[in-house]
Amino acid sequence: MVIEPIGEDEFVDDVENYIRDVPKGDVAVVQCHSDILYELPYLLNEKGYKLLIVPSETPSDLSINMRKKLSEICSDLGMEFENPKPFCGLKKRHNKPVLNEFIDYFRIGHPVMDIEVDNHKIKDVKVIVSAPCGETYYIGKRIKGKLLSEIKEEVANAHHNYPCLGSMEYDKELEDTILHEGGHIAIDGIKKALSKYKCGNKFCGKCGMI
């Protein structure tokens, strides 16, 4: 699918003039002008699409009202809709089988890791679901061999060294920047993977970030 470039402040009258070569498919991941987004679900529906994902990497990518409208349009058309902010916030939903299949097949979304710990040190890391940008693999390499007490700082450094797509502009909905939200998501994925190793002693310095 080709969407012609257009300034966000411009008004789009005939959307079909800006969209070419829409193939048949199941899932569309799109970031484009808001006027085009209003019409896009109808064009995708004609081609058999079942899921529309519109990631938000900046505060201006998709307004709350626009998100609600797209959700309603897609629901009326029998399509699933997701607006993760940022893209690595994409999670499975119990009522969205196409989304769940998409995450299982491409293994991208909210990070899921299997971490092996030996003597309070990261012995091995396996990525089950990666952030779409690939950062989860990078973090996995960075924390391997590290003590649990070193993990939080190591993840923070890795996140700021990696070319995260999240904006550093303050987002009112998140009450933080989207880049920082991506960092919180990365840490959350690791905490869940390490939860089985938590000793239960809140004064334990060896358990680190758990």
Kindly tell me if the per-residue pLDDT of 13 is higher than 90: no
3-class SS of residue 118: strand
Residue 209 has pLDDT above 80, yes or no: no
Q: Of 66, 83, 100, at which residue does a domain stop?
A: 83
pTM exceeding 0.75: yes
b/e 115-149 (16+ beta carbons within 10 angstroms → b): bebeeeebeebebebbbbbebbbbbbebbeeebbb
State which residues form the domain around 190: 112-197
Q: What interhelical angle do 135-143 and 178-194 show, nearest 10?
A: 50
7 — pLDDT class (breaks 50, 70, 90): very low
Composition of the chain by helix, strand, coil, percent to 5? 40, 15, 40
Q: Residue 105 domain-assigned? A: no
73 shares a domain with 117: no
CB 28 within 8 A of CB 53: yes
- Residue 202 domain-assigned? no
Q: Between vectors from CA 169 to CA 163 and to CA 139, what angle results, nearest 5°? A: 30
Do 78 and 120 fall within a single domain?
Answer: no
Q: Is residue 151 part of a domain?
A: yes
Q: How many helices (H) and strands (E) does the chain have?
A: 6, 9
* Residue 76 included in any domain: yes
The answer to whether the beta carbons of residues 82 and 11 sit under 8 Å apart is no
**Domain count of the chain?**
2
Residue 41 belongs to a domain? yes
The answer to whether 63 and 87 have CB atoms below 8 angstroms apart is: no
Q: Which of 44, 67, 83 marks a domain boundary?
A: 83
Same-domain pairing of 72 and 116:
no
Chosen domain end from 67, 83, 99:
83
Residue 4: per-residue pLDDT: 43
143 shares a domain with 79? no
Q: How confident is the model at residue 5 (pLDDT cuts 50, 70, 90)?
A: very low
Least confident of 38-42, 66-70, 82-86, 169-173: 38-42
Among candidate residues 47, 48, 136, the one with its CA nearest the CA of residue 90:
136
Q: Is there a domain that residue 38 lies in?
A: yes
